[in-house]
Structure 1
Amino acid sequence: MRSFTARDPRTGVHDWRGQALDPAEVLEVAARLRAAQQGWEARGGASRLEVLRAFAQALRRHAEPIGAALETDTGRRRIARLEIDSVVGSIEAWARVIAADAPPEWIQGRGLPSVRHTAAWKAYALVGVVSPWNFPLLLGMIDAVPALLAGCAVLVKPSEVTPRFIAPVMAAVAEVPELAAVFAFVPGDGITGQAVVDLADCVCFTGSVATGRKVAVQAAGRLIPAYLELGGKDPLIVLEGADLDAATDAALRGSVLSTGQACQSIERIYVARPIHDAFLARLVEKAQAARLNWPDITVGEIGPIIFDRQVDILSAQIADARQRGARVLTGGEIETHGGGLWLRPTVIAEVTPDMAVMRDETFGPLLPVMAFDTVEEAVALANDGEYGLSAAVFAAALDEAEAVGRRLEAGAISLNDAALTSIFYEAAKQGFKCSGLGPSRMGEDGYRRFLRRQALIANTARPLPLAAFSEEGST
């Protein structure tokens, strides 16, 4: 084993030490899960659902230590508790998807009427999940829950940046022996994560584009599917006639909730020139009113920067914008409080498309605002880039917002709001461009992706003899 440490983002102190599992140890866990998977799949969907419901109750019983660990991991209290609530709620949400999934019927053949066919679904034996640090519990379970309900065994490797929650969650898992047989977390680093990808039959990864490419290559070498949810540079377009109070509310929340440490955060804002100045003034006013949750974690809206390396990216983008002539109207300076690193909502005006803050993923509370003259220009600016995770459009009417949204190259478009995929999970969507690979993790697709389709083909007549294909009589 290799030891690793974790940093408390509110104090800046590396006050946690754990052991990273080596590949041989990951293999032992994977083998145990595989041995139980066939029995798990054979239970049937209704039985598996009851086991997951028992797990939900165990999570509720362990909510205090899990929430406390997530709070220390991320520096957030309310969102830490919402992660637990979201996982519990997702089990019933997936139950509704499964209930609406009617058994496939036999279909009469068109080319050969005596032949009919139907489908059967076979679960991947072992699903590997490699999850990120920004929502440590939720973004591991968003893949694990539907995979378990589909009949898979699941092995989750969380980020080494936020590992404290693993122990109390596994205590909850242990209270449900049927689940513990097919579900486990493995703490560790990149080597541990690579071992998971080497052992799984299907892999889910959430994280950066750079690491996602490596996971995709590793999975492709083994000819297994890789479902990737990667980075974003989500645009918000505000059209003339939009409700400025509503638009600025959505822009601020969509940009700085969770201190902007979310892949679907709004990271660039394009505003119609006639309303640009009024929009900017309201946005600045609201951004200035946002409070750090320091020193009291129960007060305020802006938490600390979880991963200290992210500070270099944020500082570099702000400096680049300033050097190229942009004006920083709020925030803009990394603050140190109690040893933790903080950044207030940072509204940046007079930005240009070539600036890093408009081109590269930020993952922080930066709000660059740029004016546009025509809808065509706004669409072109929003589509200019390597990312296509999600986007947003504000307009006077929903049909106007929809018309523009349909022209954007992104997997999910929020209309007259922003970052709706963070709070609404029912709509299936995929990442465009470099933002993802594979089926949606939301909607029915989020469940189906863990099942391989098997065709059952039945002949209701006498099988054709070899003589039916004799060369005699051919021309």
Structure 2
Amino acid sequence: MTTLGIRNPRTGREDYSITLPEAHELARRCAELRAKQSAWSALGVAGRSIVLQRWKEELSQAREPLIQAVTTDTGRLGESVLELEGVLGTIERWCQQAPLSYVEERKPSQVVPFIQISSDYVPHQLVGIISPWNFPLLLSLIDAIPALLAGCAVLIKPSEVTPRFVAPLLETIARVPELRDVFYVQVGDGTTGATLIEYVDALCFTGSVANGRKVAEATARRFIPAFLELGGKDPAIVLPSTDLERATTALLWGSVVNTGQSCQSIERIYVARTIFDEFVARLVEKARQLKLAYPEYTSGQIGPIMAVRQAGTIERHLRDAVEKGARIHCGGAIETHGGGLWCLPTVLTNVKHTMLNMSEESFGPLLPVMAFDTLEEAISLANDSLYGLSASVFAGSAEEAEAVAHHLEAGAVSINDVSLTAFVHDGEEHSFKYSGLGGSRMGPAAIKRFLRTRALLTNPGINDPWWFPFPAPSQQ
């Protein structure tokens, strides 16, 4: 039995621990969930919706311990409250949306008109989910909820960086017997996640490109579907007609909310040269007004860096940028307070694409700003990335911004706003390039990822047979 110490992001001390499961324990848990899945599927989508609504009530009743656990896990408060609210809203939305995914239609074949075609939807028996540390509660459940409504059993392996929320979450699940039989959250480390792939029928993963590649290879060897939501290096384009007051406020928020620890954070800002100086001046002025959420959660807006390894990445990106000629206007360093690691909003100019902070995912509150002269140049710079998760365009009108958005290699583009997919989950989108693989986790199509479609082709027997004639003609 192996125990893993868990670091507190605000104090730097290990004040919590988890016990890693043995492979045979994980196998047994998966087998138990799988054995109950058929009864869960037999409830029908209406019956499963009723069960999830009961669970939603349990989550609401457990609001205080859940928020406290997520807050301790992440070191920030406001976003933790939003995580729980987001989960409750997701359950409600999917309970309304899921029945529409099961509408059956019988129609004639266009090739052989007297053959009737209908569909049957078969859920994957057991779905595995490997979730990240930056939004531990929300991103554990964002795929689990539609999978459960689709009729699948689900096992989640959350990040070992932020596992404190698991205990109160499991208590809410335990109070709903039908759900308890088919839904479990298993703490563990990377080895646990790798082992999980061997026992499931489909796998959802949210995390880095490097780990996503390993997941894709492992699931491919098993011939099971993988739905990967990976990194981002989201660009924003600011056109000359933009309302600078609005754009600078939005882009600052989109870059530093959750301390920039989001795949949808704005990580590159391209501004028309004619408004560049004024844009930077306003952005720096606003960035300097933001404070660290220390010593109290409410002391400021910027929480700690949750993972020690991420602080190293941010520090490396800053050092590389300065060595290559970037200018830092504010912030610019990893700070230690109370044992935790912190970074104030950092605006950089004189940046170029040879710098790490313009090519690799920083996952921190860094705002590199680069000037462009032509619209074609701006689009080319925005698309010059291995990533294609999302983007933003700011202009004087929605029409002008949308015209640019059609040229961006990204799965979602926020128009005159930022990171809207963090809140608006009903617009279907697909990740471009190395930002992901598989069907959309947004929009009505998201539930179809967990359903296999079986075609039923019916001959009603009202036409002459079209097979070889019997008896066979006598041979001469």
TM range (shorter): over 0.9
Q: Structure 2: where are the runs of 5+ without partners?
A: none
SS in 2 for 1:335: strand
Report if the CA contact (8 A) 2:124-2:202 is conserved: yes
Instruction: Give 1:470 shift.
Output: 7.5
Instruction: Give 1:472 shift.
Output: 10
Q: Take 1:164 and 1:262, find their aligned partners in 2: how far apart are those partners?
A: 20
Q: Take 1:343 and 1:299, find their aligned partners in 2: how far apart are those partners?
A: 15
Q: Take 1:299 and 1:463, find their aligned partners in 2: how far apart are those partners?
A: 80
Counterpart of 1:130 in structure 2 is 130
User: TM-score, structure 1 length as denominator?
Assistant: 0.98
Instruction: Give 1:424 shift.
Output: 1.1
- CA separation of 1:435 and 1:468: change in aligned 2, threshold 3 A: farther
Q: Take 1:200 and 1:51, find their aligned partners in 2: how far apart are those partners?
A: 23
Counterpart of 2:446 in structure 1 is 446
Instruction: Give 1:56 shift.
Output: 0.7
Report if the CA contact (8 A) 1:23-1:191 is conserved: no
Counterpart of 2:51 in structure 1 is 51
Counterpart of 1:466 in structure 2 is 468
Amino acid paired to 1:394: F
Counterpart of 2:187 in structure 1 is 187
Q: Take 2:81 and 2:254, find their aligned partners in 1: how far apart are those partners?
A: 20
Q: How does 1:143-154 map to 2 (within 5 A)?
A: 143-154=143-154
Instruction: Give 1:112 shift.
Output: 1.6
Q: Take 1:88 and 1:34, find their aligned partners in 2: how far apart are those partners?
A: 26
Instruction: Give 1:99 shift.
Output: 3.9
Instruction: Give 1:469 shift.
Output: 12
SS in 2 for 1:442: coil
Report if the CA contact (8 A) 1:70-1:165 is conserved: yes
Q: Take 2:6 and 2:265, find their aligned partners in 1: how far apart are those partners?
A: 25
Report if the CA contact (8 A) 2:119-2:453 is conserved: yes
Report if the CA contact (8 A) 2:102-2:121 is conserved: no
Counterpart of 2:321 in structure 1 is 321
Counterpart of 2:178 in structure 1 is 178
Q: How does 1:84-103 map to 2 (within 5 A)?
A: 84-101=84-101, 103=103
Instruction: Give 1:468 shift.
Output: 7.7
SS in 1 for 2:184: strand
Report if the CA contact (8 A) 2:98-2:146 is conserved: no
Counterpart of 1:360 in structure 2 is 360
Report if the CA contact (8 A) 1:107-1:118 is conserved: yes
Amino acid paired to 2:414: S
- CA separation of 1:469 and 1:434: change in aligned 2, threshold 3 A: farther
User: TM-score, structure 2 length as denominator?
Assistant: 0.97
Report if the CA contact (8 A) 1:9-1:73 is conserved: yes
> How big is the alpha-carbon RMSD for the aligned residues of Structure 1 and Structure 2?
1.5
Q: Take 2:392 and 2:269, find their aligned partners in 1: how far apart are those partners?
A: 9
Point out the more displaced range, 99-108 or 277-286. 99-108
- CA separation of 1:326 and 1:122: change in aligned 2, threshold 3 A: same
SS in 2 for 1:329: strand
Counterpart of 2:219 in structure 1 is 219
Q: How does 1:294-443 map to 2 (within 5 A)?
A: 294-443=294-443
Q: How does 1:194-273 map to 2 (within 5 A)?
A: 194-273=194-273
Q: Take 2:472 and 2:400, find their aligned partners in 1: how far apart are those partners?
A: 64
Report if the CA contact (8 A) 2:242-2:394 is conserved: yes
Amino acid paired to 2:272: A
Counterpart of 1:139 in structure 2 is 139
Q: Take 1:468 and 1:238, find their aligned partners in 2: how far apart are those partners?
A: 74
Q: Take 1:354 and 1:332, find their aligned partners in 2: how far apart are those partners?
A: 19
Q: Structure 1: where are the runs of 5+ without partners?
A: none
SS in 2 for 1:249: helix
Instruction: Give 1:471 shift.
Output: 10
Q: Deviations over 1:288-336 (max 9, x none)?
A: 0011110111232100000011111101111111111110001001111
Counterpart of 1:291 in structure 2 is 291
Q: How does 1:15-34 map to 2 (within 5 A)?
A: 15-34=15-34
- CA separation of 1:423 and 1:117: change in aligned 2, threshold 3 A: same
